[in-house]
Structure 1
Amino acid sequence: MKFRFPVVIIDEDFRSENVSGSGVRALAEAIELEGMETLGITSFGDTAMIAQQQNRASCFILSIDDDEFSDEDLKEEAIAKLRMFVGEIRRRNEDIPIFLYGETRTSRHIPNDVLKELHGFIHMFEDTPEFVARHIIREAKVYLDSLAPPFFRALTGYAADGSYSWHCPGHSGGVAFLKSPVGQMFHQFFGENMLRADVCNAVDELGQLLDHTGAVAASEQNAARIFGADHLFFVTNGTSTSNKIVWHANVADNDIVVVDRNCHKSVLHAIIMTGAVPVFLMPRRNHYGIIGPIPKSEFLPETIAAKIAAHPIAKGLGTKPQMLTLTQSTYDGILYNVDTIKEILGTSIENLLFDEAWLPHATFHEFYKGMHAIGRDTRRSEGPMVYACQSTHKLLAGLSQASQILVQESPTRHLDRDRFNEAYLMHVSTSPQYSIIASCDVAAAMMEPPGGTSLVEESIVEAMDFRRAMRKVDEEFGDSWWFKVWGPEKLAEEGVGDREDWMLGAGERWHEFGNHAPGFNLFDPIKATVITPGLDLDGAFADWDIPAAIVTKYL
């Protein structure tokens, strides 16, 4: 199918009746005659806002005026503006073509740090618009052809191929819906492409999720590269299923397991299904009811050994714990220093599972360095195999139920793919939804740096701006009531601020989790918990309050 990605032309003379204007319009017309859409912009305006359009463009053509370089003051201003624009684009996208369009003599004024980011300098009137248009379109098509990751590319190709569906699902590419009035409504709502792409796992050219072959395997390998994992597996039943897969691949009846008491119900289900014997690590909780971190001392091998020795069932089993499962990020945003946990545990645990349902973004920004399980910048454990289960549908762009399992091997432990896949087959459907697989594929590709880093940065800044705005309203109301956003007292006036401001300190009033080992817990600013009036951190009730349920109903 044809996707809409116009060529964006930025020229203040785009609509002017002068030589420059007529030249750039001739170029735009030649591009459109070749079948590609153009979008003309007459001013830089907000450089950052235009740069954000890179996600909708096939390339940028930026016109520069030689008059701006004839005066030294104007020249410096023009170069600064150009450098800012190119920098904003490249901060988000390393590959999209950028062309400069101007007179031949203008090119010598462009500094090297800008030139190296360009795909070319188009010399005004030095060639025909038709030839230049074909050159630009060639570069734009090369760029567009590189965008789709493996499975999504195969799926769109299959849907566009016009192949008849002779197998399940029974709607046969959406045809069944056309035979009923309500089916027509369904077809019109979801559209042709989604229904044509809803196919059976017997389509060879799309590969196979169940044995990780073909286009599916290529996409999982691509995602593993992007996330810095040794292995990565897509899961279409959510992270509840991902957790159970990891457990069934590693845990058997009467195995001792060490579990965060603040765990997801899928972990409790895994304990029941495997017949494991759990020893729990207890987190702290404040009077708001917010669950905090497990103290660092709880992870010491001697502390875990003492818990096992005191356990009425586990003490008689006499085996090394087969699994330690930790919720890494809590719902409210409490993170652990995973590098430190790996170091503390050493070889005392067989497998580590971090339930990172709310943390798939962490590996793409230095703010979270050391505070996530697997990535290029994380410590490799001495003994245990490390797993991370992530909900790409929660904080990335996956469709509902999109999840993934990341695996990091150790010097002494390597993944037994056959055994792991038996556990995988135990829990996934033999009729996986291909749109969910495609969304796993695309969600991973979207996070490829620098684009993924930029997306995380923008999310952190937006969360900070929300916190700043809430405080501003509170200050302006004065003695009157207002909602508070849970978090540290210190908040940077602009931007992301200092990561140290978000580390949990010992005895700090804002969290009331007591004493903490320095550098062990980080609060993720993206998680914004709104506190309603009526209860303070000492657990005392006010004379009046606003229950959160009423606020939710109002909103």
Structure 2
Amino acid sequence: MKFRFPVIVIDEDFRSENISGSGIRDLAEAIGQQGMEVIGFTSYVDLSAFAQQASRASCFILSIDDEEFGAGSDAEVEIAVASLRAFIAEVRKRNIDIPIFLYGETRTSRHIPTDILRELHGFIHMFEDTPEFVARHIIREAKKYLDALSPPFFNALVNYAEDSSYSWHCPGHSGGVAFLKSPVGQMFHQFFGENMLRADVCNAVDELGQLLDHTGPVAASEQNAARIFNCDHLFFVTNGTSTSNKIVWHSTVAPGDIVVVDRNCHKSILHSIIMTGAIPVFLMPTRNHYGIIGPIPKSEFSLEAIRKKIEANPFARNAKNKKPRILTITQSTYDGVIYNVEQIKDILGNSIDTLHFDEAWLPHATFHEFYKDMHAIGEGRERTDETLVFATQSTHKLLAGLSQASQILVQNGTGRQLDTHRFNESYLMHSSTSPQYSIIASCDVAAAMMEAPGGRALVEESLLEAIDFRRAMRKVDAEFGDDEWWFKVWGPEKLAEEGIGEREDWVIHPQDKWHDFGQIESGFNMLDPIKATIITPGLDIEGDFAEFGIPAAIVSKYLAEHGIIIEKTGLYSFFIMFTIGITKGRWNSMVTELQQFKDDYDQNLPLWRVLPEFVKKHRQYERVGLRDLCNQIHNMYREYDVARITTDMYLSNIETAMIPADAWAKMAHRDIERISIDEIEGRITAMLVTPYPPGIPLMVPGERFNKTIIKYLQFARDFNTAFPGFETDVHGLIKEQENGVAKYYVDVVYESLS
């Protein structure tokens, strides 16, 4: 299989009709005749952009016989050396291994400073050897570099696919051959390509190793990733961090165990509570009226506070063992709020059996000093004695994994080691016996991409792009002035004029006005800049509605029809992420489209013109103006005071009536009844109740409905009736049509009247 990694030549004479130009072209031709592509440039252009060619090149050949190096003045030579030094530094910031060669006709290594020479793989003196000889030397170094690039599993998978072995095992498409027997199969084959299909193999292939028992190239890749991520053990998972969370829980939690959990955790944690039969004790995060989930106050983590919660829980206070079995914290929230993990370890180390940090949105943090102490596991971290620390990470969310690529990181205690054999029983319980090998390969490659110094450079680039985006949005706001509306990006008021700025700018303090999380402790939390929540006009952070407003759901549909798909939408906010794949072009397009939305809104253009695809499905909006629709939805939000309802329902006191596993058992045995939302006050839910937005479970099986939650469900019913196409989705809320009228129900635990 041939990968395209050309030799990059940078020489101002590359296309010139002179001796120097002829010499470098002869060398390029000799390299090409031996099977390697050569691309020639005549200048460095933009250094940082050009240095990124290092990800696409097999080596660089740089001329030092340009005019500035030759007959130029000392000042010109100094400038040329500085330019060369800057280029090499920019390359090495991302890649310490790619070969760099200098070549000249008259200049030699004595004309080049030592700090530059030490970064080189060779010095070529033109015309002293034949072009063919020099080409072989360059190709040897380039191939040595390329051969070392592939991490263990990806390398084995590529070699296996190249072997063209006949497949007698599953999957049944046999390396893609089955698709070639059908017209629609031909389309599928042409779309995905032969390499992907040849690499889709069964776990019976010995030379690829086993994911399920961590042997062979799979094990080598997991060990390689553990080294890169600075942890004691690392396990690849091919069906997402939802499954990674369940593996961790089933490896340590048993029925009747007390578990301490972030109330606004991912639903996979609540599924784990149900599956293990655990007794949950919840830590309550703060929240502002934008719907943004804030941090759990530091005081909630104290042993005294946790003991009080245990005694207040009717099931936990009667448990045989009062020591919590696991603590699970969402480390980073959807909107980017993260915790100082070292402080949590100091408070709870050895008081809880296992500390688990759901870092689905934070796999990048260990690679940059900006996040020091703000992630679970890393180099030089303090270890507790008897407590294991787990981090579960979605490689596919912010790194370069394929969808469902995830990993589990483990840090041993000083007096307690992970029993990998017992842990693997839980791993087997939740893993498919037919894992997708492309996902494993993406876990492998995603980790290798973060090898120093490349990982730090990638994270720094994400930080810079995210902060540049914020600066651009503020610039547009300033140009519009006070008399015009514009979008805001939620976050600290202070931004550095250039670069990343100070980490302290992103640390959350109680006196800060921008977050409205109340009296939280300084230094315990920070906002991750690469998560950007954009606020639309209409609602302030205290929950007060303006005279006019622009609901975020409308902006999201507008952006989608203009080719921009965002991550999450709230009432007056939407969320985007600056992953390592985001570029200046993408976020500049976002700024441009938001400006176009403003123009269309200000002109009140009809929806058939600005949202044609949406209007095709919902003809009732055809003659409605964009501004008019915004005002209609805004007025309904204001009438129901929905910002305060959504805040209050998550912070309300919800009574626990049953252990979640017992309530789920009622559902499994159909010992439930379907009740109208107008009649469910005090009834026990048999299902998770999860409003979207924000997609965070509101109620767990076994909890009783209160008036605040019912008021929100009634709002959802009325809103969905009034604005089809913009429905508020609530998982657990059942919609049924009766005589053409939508009725809403919830499945609750059956309760005998006797």
Normalised by the length of structure 2, the TM-score is: 0.73
Q: Secondary structure at the match of 1:394?
A: helix
Partner of 2:218: 216
Q: Secondary structure at the match of 2:317?
A: helix
The 10-residue stretch of structure 1 (389-398 or 506-515) with the greater mean CA deviation from structure 2: 506-515
1:40-59 mapped onto 2 (5 Å cutoff): 40-59=40-59
The 10-residue stretch of structure 1 (284-293 or 380-389) with the greater mean CA deviation from structure 2: 380-389
Is residue 316 of structure 2 the alignment partner of residue 346 of structure 1?
no
**Partner letter of residue 447 of structure 2?**
A
Counterpart of 2:458 (choices 439, 455, 458) is 455
Query: CA contact under 8 A between 1:387 and 1:406: conserved in structure 2?
Result: yes
Is residue 36 of structure 2 the alignment partner of residue 33 of structure 1?
no
**Alignment length (residue pairs):** 555
Query: CA contact under 8 A between 1:248 and 1:423: conserved in structure 2?
Result: yes
Deviation at 1:379, TM superposition (A): 2.8
CA distance in 2, matches of 1:68, 1:536: 59
Deviation at 1:381, TM superposition (A): 2.6
Partner of 2:392: 389
Unaligned stretches of 5+ residues in structure 2: 560-754
CA distance in 2, matches of 1:322, 1:168: 41
CA distance in 2, matches of 1:498, 1:383: 36
The 10-residue stretch of structure 1 (61-70 or 528-537) with the greater mean CA deviation from structure 2: 61-70
Deviation at 1:67, TM superposition (A): 4.9
The 10-residue stretch of structure 1 (83-92 or 315-324) with the greater mean CA deviation from structure 2: 315-324
CA distance in 2, matches of 1:47, 1:288: 41
Query: CA contact under 8 A between 2:11 and 2:66: conserved in structure 1?
Result: no
CA distance in 1, matches of 2:254, 2:537: 48
Counterpart of 1:516 (choices 503, 515, 520) is 520
CA distance in 2, matches of 1:68, 1:547: 58
Is residue 125 of structure 2 the alignment partner of residue 127 of structure 1?
no
CA distance in 1, matches of 2:62, 2:401: 34
The percentage of counterpart residues that share the same residue type is: 76
Deviation at 1:515, TM superposition (A): 1.6
Q: Secondary structure at the match of 1:101?
A: strand
Is residue 234 of structure 2 the alignment partner of residue 232 of structure 1?
yes
Query: CA contact under 8 A between 1:507 and 1:513: conserved in structure 2?
Result: no
CA distance in 1, matches of 2:67, 2:339: 57
User: Which of the two has higher C-alpha Rg?
Assistant: 2
Deviation at 1:50, TM superposition (A): 1.2
Partner of 2:474: 471
1:170-319 mapped onto 2 (5 Å cutoff): 170-317=172-319, 318-319=321-322
Highest RCO, 1 vs 2 (Cα 8 Å, sep ≥ 6): 1
CA distance in 1, matches of 2:27, 2:337: 54
Counterpart of 2:440 (choices 437, 453, 470) is 437
CA distance in 1, matches of 2:262, 2:106: 66
Counterpart of 1:525 (choices 518, 522, 529) is 529
CA distance in 1, matches of 2:532, 2:460: 16
Partner of 1:537: 541
CA distance in 2, matches of 1:506, 1:259: 24
**Partner letter of residue 188 of structure 1?**
Q
Deviation at 1:104, TM superposition (A): 5.1
Q: Secondary structure at the match of 2:397?
A: coil
Normalised by the length of structure 1, the TM-score is: 0.99
CA distance in 1, matches of 2:42, 2:368: 35
CA distance in 1, matches of 2:286, 2:522: 16
The 10-residue stretch of structure 1 (103-112 or 176-185) with the greater mean CA deviation from structure 2: 103-112
CA distance in 1, matches of 2:111, 2:77: 8
Deviation at 1:137, TM superposition (A): 0.2
**Partner letter of residue 320 of structure 1?**
K
Following TM superposition, where does structure 1 have runs of at least 4 consecutive aligned residues deviating by more than 3 angstroms? none
Deviation at 1:105, TM superposition (A): 3.9
Query: CA contact under 8 A between 1:323 and 1:351: conserved in structure 2?
Result: yes
Is residue 425 of structure 2 the alignment partner of residue 416 of structure 1?
no
**1:263-282: per-residue Cα shift (whole Å, max 9, x none)?**
00000000000001111000
Deviation at 1:48, TM superposition (A): 1.4
CA distance in 1, matches of 2:248, 2:44: 51
CA distance in 1, matches of 2:370, 2:285: 24
Deviation at 1:346, TM superposition (A): 2.3
Is residue 496 of structure 2 the alignment partner of residue 492 of structure 1?
yes
**Partner letter of residue 296 of structure 2?**
I
Deviation at 1:66, TM superposition (A): 6.6
Q: Secondary structure at the match of 1:425?
A: helix
CA distance in 2, matches of 1:220, 1:507: 44
Query: CA contact under 8 A between 1:508 and 1:514: conserved in structure 2?
Result: no
**1:518-538: per-residue Cα shift (whole Å, max 9, x none)?**
211010000000111110011
Deviation at 1:372, TM superposition (A): 0.2
